[in-house]
């Protein structure tokens, strides 16, 4: 059995060269950049008005209005002292403009403009290069593209970006007791839910599951299911059947398919029977079937691999140090990921820590990462991984 740190290091050390593809900017959300993005020009690249109002020349009480500049107007205007020009937000600032006064602070009578208050030099002018300078580095390779990133890259006039291809992912859930939600259930059966949670967690991080199959606890069927997915995927995830029960066939079925075990069993709670293996360029994680175990193992161990092979710079979930809201004792000897809720800058460890219980995970927003079981006091700082 290996430690959590060893497991994380082993996963991090895996070599994998994600393919680089050109992606239309609009469909690049969630991809990681494979190129650096640099501003090709100043942003904005001309002085422009931050307000609907009047561009003024000099510092006076009254001005003569000589014309108008709307947003998108490409003509050049020039002001003389005591002249003003009607201007709208985004409009190009005329030469010799001292400042822009907002229209709410003005009165107009024919060609004459009177202003209510003094306007300081440069006021309400968005200067050329005020946001970005030409040549300025905007994103490094590995940046995961967000809606705002897309807006920014679009404003730099770039219609497409070089990104790392997202990994293909397949999922097999195993268990005789599992039936699909919406179908009639007999006593002894349960609704299969791990695939729903895991696929949603993939989606949460901008990834998709290309195929998903439910297989009963049958060695041959599991072996064939693995074989069908193995050659067409970057990452194969399995849930259930990886522990020591008589019907736990996943490990043997992986071996029969030539998957090399990299580790099996991690000294942690929940999720001790976690399996990680590889066949050529396909990575395999077999997650314990208990719902809270499988999702916790996904967040803590699978996500870092997925981020790495997606070309991301991020190591995994965002972690924060938060004071404990109450006294808490973690018993046992294993490091633990506890279902927890952060609110008002403190963390509460939730009831229902059993690995079978998804309710408490659904009520929480974090996993409290406790490396040494011990008694904690309210106010002790706890490392928490944010799950939502
Ligand atoms: P296993 O890891 O196969 O021994 O399963 C451990 C526990 O998790 C059992 O109570 C299973 O019924 C439950 N379980 C396994 N797979 C799933 C699944 N896909 N959805 C919901 N519960 C599951
Ligand atoms: Mg099972």
Mean pLDDT of 80-90: 98
In this predicted structure, what is the pLDDT of residue 118? 86
In this predicted structure, what is the pLDDT of residue 365? 98
In this predicted structure, what is the pLDDT of residue 337? 98
What is the distance in A from the centroid of ligand 2 to the CA of 362? 22
Read off φ and ψ for residue 8, nearest 5 degrees.
-65, -40
What is the distance in A from the centroid of ligand 1 to the CA of 291? 7
What is the distance in A from the centroid of ligand 2 to the CA of 274? 14
Q: Residue 146 above 90 pLDDT?
A: yes
Give the closest ligand to the alpha carbon of residue 244.
1
Instruction: Give the pairing type, strands 48-49 and 20-24.
Output: unpaired
How confident is the model over 282-335, as pLDDT tens digits?
A: 999 999 999 999 999 999 999 999 999 999 999 999 999 999 999 999 999 999
Euclidean distance between CA atoms 49 and 210, whole angstroms: 49
Q: Residue 57 above 90 pLDDT?
A: yes
Question: Ligand 1 site: residues with CB under 6 angstroms?
Answer: 173, 175, 177-178, 190, 192-194, 239-241, 243, 245, 288-291, 356
What is the distance in A from the centroid of ligand 2 to the CA of 242? 8
Mutate to test the pocket of ligand 1, among 173, 214, 239, 240 (most ligand atoms within 8 A of CB): 240
Mean pLDDT of 237-243: 98
Task: Tell me: cis bond preceding 270? Omega within 30 of 0 counts.
Answer: yes
Give the closest ligand to the alpha carbon of residue 287.
1
Atom 17, ligand 1: which residue's CA is nearest? 289
Mean pLDDT of 53-68: 98
Cβ partners under 8 Å of residue 144, min gap 6: 30, 31, 32, 206, 310, 312, 314
If we measure between CA atoms, which residue out of 248, 280, 283, 247 comes closest to residue 263? 283
In this predicted structure, what is the pLDDT of residue 141? 97
What's the mean per-residue pLDDT of the chain?
97
In ligand 1, the atom with minimum distance to the C-alpha of 173 is 19
In this predicted structure, what is the pLDDT of residue 78? 98
Atom 12, ligand 1: which residue's CA is nearest? 177
Contact 212, 159 (CB under 8 A): no
How confident is the model over 180-218, as pLDDT tens digits?
A: 999 999 999 999 999 999 999 999 999 999 999 999 999
Q: Residue 117 above 90 pLDDT?
A: no
Percent of the chain scored above 70 by pLDDT? 100
In this predicted structure, what is the pLDDT of residue 190? 98
The whole-angstrom distance between residue 257's C-alpha and the CA centroid of its chain comes to 33
Please name every residue paired with 349 in a beta bridge, in sequence order, or none if there are none.
340
Mean pLDDT of 250-275: 98
Percent of the chain scored above 90 by pLDDT? 99
In this predicted structure, what is the pLDDT of residue 172? 98
Write down the pTM of the prediction.
Answer: 0.92
Euclidean distance between CA atoms 54 and 63, whole angstroms: 10
């Amino acid at each position: 059995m290996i430690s959590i740190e060893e497991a994380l290091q082993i996963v991090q050390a895996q070599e994998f060269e994600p393919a680089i593809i050109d992606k239309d900017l609009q469909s690049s959300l969630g991809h990681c950049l494979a190129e650096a993005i640099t501003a090709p020009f100043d942003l904005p690249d001309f002085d422009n008005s931050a307000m609907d109002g009047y561009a003024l020349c000099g510092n006076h009480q009254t001005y003569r209005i000589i014309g108008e500049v709307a947003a998108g107007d490409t003509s050049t205007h020039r002001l003389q002292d005591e002249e003003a020009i009607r201007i709208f937000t985004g409009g190009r600032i005329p030469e010799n403009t001292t400042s822009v006064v907002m229209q709410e602070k003005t009165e107009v009578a024919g060609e004459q403009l009177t202003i209510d208050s003094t306007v300081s030099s440069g006021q309400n002018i968005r200067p050329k290069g005020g946001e970005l300078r030409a040549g300025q580095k905007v994103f490094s390779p590995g940046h995961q593209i967000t809606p705002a990133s897309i807006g920014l890259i679009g404003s730099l006039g770039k219609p497409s970006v070089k990104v790392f291809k997202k990994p293909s992912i397949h999922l097999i859930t195993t268990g005789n007791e599992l039936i699909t939600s919406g179908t009639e259930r007999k006593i002894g059966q349960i609704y299969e839910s791990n695939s729903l949670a895991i696929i949603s967690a993939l989606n949460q991080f901008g990834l998709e599951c290309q195929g998903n199959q439910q297989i009963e606890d049958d060695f041959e069927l599991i072996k064939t299911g693995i074989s069908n997915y193995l050659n067409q995927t970057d990452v194969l995830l399995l849930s259930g059947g990886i522990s020591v029960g008589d019907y736990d066939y996943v490990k043997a079925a992986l071996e029969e398919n030539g998957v090399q075990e990299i580790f099996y069993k991690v000294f942690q709670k929940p999720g001790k029977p976690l399996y990680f293996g590889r066949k050529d360029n396909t990575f395999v994680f077999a997650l314990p079937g208990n719902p809270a175990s499988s999702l916790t193992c996904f967040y803590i161990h699978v996500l870092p691999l997925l981020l790495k092979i997606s070309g991301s710079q991020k190591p995994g979930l965002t972690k924060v140090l938060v004071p404990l809201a109450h006294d808490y004792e973690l018993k046992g000897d294993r490091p633990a990921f506890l279902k927890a809720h952060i609110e008002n800058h403190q963390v509460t460890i939730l009831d229902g820590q059993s690995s079978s219980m998804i309710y408490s995970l659904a009520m929480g927003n974090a996993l409290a990462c406790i490396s040494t079981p011990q008694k904690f006091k309210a106010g002790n700082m706890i490392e928490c991984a944010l799950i939502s």
